[in-house]
Structure 1
Amino acid sequence: MTLLVLSGTREGRDIAAALHRQGIGLIASLAGATRSPRAQEVPTRVGGFGGADGFRQFLKDSTISAVLDATHPFASEITARTAQICGELNIPYCLFTRPEWIASEGDNWTKLDDEQDAANYIEPASIVFLATGRKTLERFENLSSCKLICRQIDPPNGPFPFPNGEFLIGRPPFSVEDEIALFKSLGVDWLIVKNAGGNASFSKLDAARTLGIRVGMIKRPALPEARSVSTIEQAIDWGSAHG
């Protein structure tokens, strides 16, 4: 029997490593969104499962006894599918969801329903830094009057989809000082982020507060009704009990 850890976040890697050190038999799974993911110290598979049917077959073939979902908070399709199929197959499932970011004194955040909503608030001719990843980039097409800068980890496979934008390549972590220097050099007016939570990528928000940059904060998608935990310690305890 094997525990499957969907470990596409920093916390997911830490959870999988801690369980592995406890002697829990597990497989860590990465979706393959990043071309050169950081190495994990546990048995790891990279790539999709081939849809819902492929995931069902993988669970059966690998004798998965439980699934711990530590994917990105915005990987809503993966999370919904995983929770549904685990329910169908009577496989214990737990979702690790880190707490959302909350604005503090000095922050100038605007809550956005989705990417398209940004155009309702951003002034024409603004320089907009998109820290939202390449998968949802086309949803910003309505910001045609602004200059768009999209940061991503891997070099792009093609040109920027709009004439008013450019890619910026960078691999985290980024220090607050580095982010301040970058935003100053680019003349950033707006920073657009998804409310992913966690400490690893908060430095850009610290930098925005320091510089008085406005932030568009995209709200999280709805989560399935399922067992969930919000700390690494809780996730490890659940994995230990079900591995």
Structure 2
Amino acid sequence: MILLFGGTTEGKRVANYLNTAQLDYIYSTKTTIEFEGHPNAQYRYGAFTEDDLATFIDEKTVKLILDASHPFASQLHQTIAEVAFKRSIPVIRFERVYFEKVIHPKIHYVSSFEAAIEKLYQLECYHLLALTGVQSIVPLKPYWFEKQVTFRILPRESSIQQALQTGLAEKNILTEMPGQGTTQEIQLIQNLRVDCILTKNSGESGFLSSKIEAAIQTQTNLIIVERPTVPESFQIVYTEQELAEQLKTLYL
């Protein structure tokens, strides 16, 4: 049995491949999503502790883990690595495509949210537009507690409730789907009159190029939090063809 960790992007790409290859797998997500059933697939949701994951692997006789989760799901990556090592199970990481850094006076790269806060103070931002998702609200609380920040989050009831539970005011929450291109981002920058943008380096799946282009066109400071590294034990692939080759070596 294959255990696939994913969400709504790379995870579904891998699931589609496994469906086509007629390989049995379990699709696991942190929160519930819409998942089309398939004769070879099972679905579950909910976060795992190391002990929970180890027990699940034993019960389901998991022989391979596919990690196609979000690049910033650091805790999940580490949990998978620890349990996989103890159970001697190989892990294949289906990674996003990333482009080289864009060098521009308005584009700033930082290593963490803590470093992002330091950079925001250095830039003396008046109004920040945070495109880093609902999970980033708590790490950024030291900044938005005293500065003007608008967070764009997905228009899901669960995301809205999670945002409000942090103490963030409803007026500072914008619910909108991303991915409409550079024009969408430019309009948002102009409508909100922001002078700084914060985003994560989530690759092209995270529409990073549109955000960069919008920042450059509007001469708005854009701070990009670099993605964390994945455990060295993971076998990294970027395409379905590379995945197929690794499956032949490690599983089939």
**TM-score of the superposition, structure 2-length normalised?**
0.83
Aligned to 1:219: 226
Partner amino acid, structure 1, of 2:243: A
State how 1:139-158 maps to structure 2 within 5 Å: 139-143=139-143, 144-153=145-154, 154-155=156-157, 156-157=160-161, 158=164
Cα gap change, 1:151 to 1:46, in 2 (>3 Å): farther
Partner amino acid, structure 2, of 1:130: A
Cα gap change, 1:61 to 1:163, in 2 (>3 Å): closer
Q: State the structure with bigger RCO (CA 8 A, min sep 6), 1 or 2.
A: 1
SS at match of 1:151: strand
Q: Once the 2 structures are TM-superposed, how far is the Cα of residue 141 of structure 1 from its aligned partner?
A: 3.0
Q: Once the 2 structures are TM-superposed, how far is the Cα of residue 219 of structure 1 from its aligned partner?
A: 2.0
Cα gap change, 1:136 to 1:49, in 2 (>3 Å): closer
State how 1:55-204 maps to structure 2 within 5 Å: 55-104=53-102, 106=104, 108-122=106-120, 123-124=123-124, 126-143=126-143, 144-153=145-154, 154-155=156-157, 156-157=160-161, 158=164, 161-162=167-168, 166-202=172-208, 203-204=210-211
Cα gap change, 1:225 to 1:191, in 2 (>3 Å): same
SS at match of 1:171: coil
Distance 2:77 2:128 in 1: 30
* 8 Å Cα contact 2:67/2:91 also seen in 1: yes
* 8 Å Cα contact 1:115/1:140 also seen in 2: yes
Richer in helix (by share) = 2
Distance 1:210 1:231 in 2: 31
Q: Once the 2 structures are TM-superposed, how far is the Cα of residue 160 of structure 1 from its aligned partner?
A: 6.0
* 8 Å Cα contact 2:26/2:44 also seen in 1: no
State how 1:222-241 maps to structure 2 within 5 Å: 222-233=229-240, 234-239=242-247, 241=249
RMSD over aligned CA atoms reads 2.5
**TM-score of the superposition, structure 1-length normalised?**
0.86
Partner amino acid, structure 2, of 1:208: A
Cα gap change, 1:92 to 1:3, in 2 (>3 Å): same
> 1:27 aligned to 2:35?
no
* 8 Å Cα contact 1:68/1:96 also seen in 2: yes
